[in-house]
Structure formats: structure tokens, C-alpha cells
Structure 1
Amino acid sequence: MLQLEAVEVCYGSFKALKGVSMQVGAGELVVLLGANGAGKTTLFNTISGLLKPTAGRVTLEGQRIDGLKPSRLVGAGVVQCAEGRKLFPQMSVQENLSLGAYLHRRDREGNRRNLREVYALFPILEQKKDEPAGSLSGGQQQMVAIGRALMSRPRLLMLDEPSLGLAPLVVNQMFEVITRINRSGTSVLLAEQNAFAALKIAHRAYVIEGGSLVMEGDQQAMLGNEAVRKAYIGA
């Protein structure tokens, strides 16, 4: 579905991505592991059109998409849920969710249906739909961020560090929801530092270090890899 071929991205003279080649198949849940500063967010921003590659190409179902505006990519089903949630704290939960449907604003019935699906996925959000998003707990705010992304009707959902700063119990719930989203047919690219929890739900994984992909493999291969375990799982 998504393919990157020898993608490079520079910030001035600094090369943030170095010849990255990877793919996400239709219906796959692929995890991108890496420490802070490894290049995960840069990679996501490049796929979603916020950054333009200095070399290489990005294709979606065979069609080249690097260089397209982010709004066009969202319309094509490439949706990013950014690290840090990026909510509008003074706006209500439902208003934040509705912003995710902006490109589909004329399809009111479809948006109402999608909103019901988001509330079915996160029942607590329906209870708090009229409360300011900034008043919610960290876990509930992350639910709003994911729900807003789902309102954009993603075919490929990119989640950047969704477990960051959350309590262990909430992390488990979050990964269960991500699994449900994937099983519904949405392809997922998940950037995570919580390697063990992420690999447990992944089909495949890549490891990025210093802007380069240094390892890849399926779930069992990565869970059983000693280097991965020492560097990311602490075992």
C-alpha cells in the first residue's frame, strides 16, 4: 500500500533520513522502533506531506505522493496522529473530534456515523463530549487524538508515540484499541519506544537509528532478536 524508496530528508546541512526504504502492506500493522531523535517523526512528517524528501520517492498504491499537500494526502486516506496529541484544549471533546472530519464536512450523515463509531471505540469520550479537551486525563486526551484521526477516514493511520506518558494500564488499553482499528481493515504504521507492547500487536517491524533503517523483520523474529531485546525491551 505504502512504499518508500531510498528517501532522504535534510534540515539544512543535517541529513535526518538517510536512504530509507520500507513498505506497509494493505491491512498490515507495522511498528517503527527507535530512540528519541532517531528519525521517527521526520519519517512520519515526510509521508504525510509536512516535509518534502530531498531524494527518493514515496508511493501510495503505486502512485507517487511525495510533494503533495498534506490536505490532499488526508483526502487520499493518509492520516497522521501526531506525538503530543496536539488538541485544542479549550474546545470541547466533540468539537475536537469534528475537526478531523473537515475534509468530509459535506457528508453530514457519514460524519455522524463515524462519530458513533469513535464513541463506540472510546465510550468515555461520549460521556465527556461537552467538556473541554484540556480538562481530560492524558489517556483520555490520547483517545481524542486517535478519534480525531479516525474521523478523517484513514486507510493508512500513522500513530506517533501514542503511549507516551501514559500509565501502564492505559497503555494496554490503547494497544488493544489500535489492534481493533487494524482488524477493521485500516493499515497502521506505529512509531513507538514501548517496544515490547508494540511488537506484541505488530505484523512486522523496522528499527531506525540515526536516520537509517538498521533492522527489519516479522513479529517473532524481532521479539526473539537479542539486539532488539537488549536495546528496546531491556532483556
Structure 2
Amino acid sequence: MYKVTCVIGTRPEAIKMAPLLRLMKSDERFSLTILSTGQHTDMLRQALHHFGIDADVKLNVMRERQSLEYLTSAVLQGVSNFLQKDPQDMLLVHGDTTTTFGAALAGFYRGVPIGHVEAGLRSHNMKLPFPEEANRVLTDRLSSLFFAPTPWAAENLLREGTDSSQVFVTGNTVIDALFWTLRHLTPSEILKEIPEEAPLILMTAHRRESWGAPLTRICGAIKEIIERHPEVRILLSLHKNPVVRETIFQELAE
């Protein structure tokens, strides 16, 4: 049986990896361990619960207002300690989070092959998105198998010299997660308060590059839409990051 550990730390990773985790859990060829770093503790738990999944190992690295330096080192040390105690045949990581890079680096140091789901995405600007572009580029440098969501992503990898025999175009797992959710969806109480005929905008805004003035401008745009189009309803999914919440509450409290 092939021992695989999937490392996840944030809500997006949980959502996008859930279809694969459910499939691997039911496949007798794999002995799957789900390791949660806890980069986003509550939001990660909520997303996993939605798909009927629980982590087997929990590092609980999250700290309030955690820095990238702290988070990277905590994930690196935590995953490395786990691999020392329980060696694996492969480590699966997803996307471009700090959990992704820290776990991949731990696997590399421990000599464990890395499989990168959602490999090959590029903005070709190491500062945008920050730090995600660096995370995904560096993770690809450390990986052995590359699961690209699109042919374009695969071409990025090939242009960078990746062996074509290691690159697989798989599609985007978030689509599988979407179809699963549609089959198991429970109507939201919030949506019941919105008239069916009302135009609805669903949005979120939390990326690190949007902190400060850009997020303030986004809030200004929200207010302008409401003023110009009072019939429109805007449903803002609010991230738990205190930097994001402080700005949005300050700008949209009225």
C-alpha cells in the first residue's frame, strides 16, 4: 500500500483537495494521511466538515497576526517532525500557500517525493500575488509530479524545463468540489432574506496585496454600486484575518 500524506492549511486548499481526498480514502491502493497545519484553523475545519472530512494530524500552527516568517518556519518544522516519525512514499500539496511551500520544503529535506496539485500557474511577477507567486514557483522546483489544471499551466512547466513525463493535465479540482457541493447544498438562511428578483453580487476581498489602500478602494466601489443601483444586493464573504476585518468594518460600518 502506497503511503501518501496530503498537507493542507487553508480553506481554499481544503475545498480544492476535498474531491481527491474523498477518492483516495476509498481507494485501497493508498494509505492516506491528512495533515492539517492549521494555517487557517476555524475556516479550514469548517471547509473540511462541509465535505465530511477530518484531519488525521493537526499541527495547530496558527497565531494571531502571524508573520510569513513564523508561519513558514512552523510549517517546515511541524511537517518535518511528522515525516521523521512516520516516513511517507509521497507528500501531496496544493496550490501556492505558505503551507504548500513549507510542507514541500520539509518533504524535500526529508527525501520524500512531492506531488504538486494545481502546478504551473504563473503571473511571472514574483511580487504579485505576494507571496503566492514565489510559493508556487519554489514548490514546483521541489516537486517530482506536477498536476496542472490547464494545458497553459502545463506549458509553463515545460518551458521551465520540467520533464514532460512528470506533468499531467488534470483539470481544476475546484470544479469537482463545486459539483459535489451542488448535490449536497443546504439553502443559506442569509439568501432567504434576499428577494429572488434582486440582482446579487457575491464577493470576497482578502488577498495580502489588497491590504491597506487597495482594500479601502474596494470598499469605496461597493458603496458606489449600492448608491447607483439600490436594487442590487451585495453579499460579502468576510475573511477572518483581523487586518481585513478592521478595514472593512471601518469603511462599511454604516
Which has a greater percent of helix?
2
Larger Cα-atom Rg: 2
TM-score class, shorter-chain normalisation, is 0.3 to 0.5
TM-score, L = length of structure 2: 0.31
Work out which structure has the larger RCO, using CA pairs closer than 8 Å and 6 or more positions apart in sequence. Answer: 1
Identify the structure with the greater strand proportion.
1
TM-score (normalizing by structure 1): 0.33
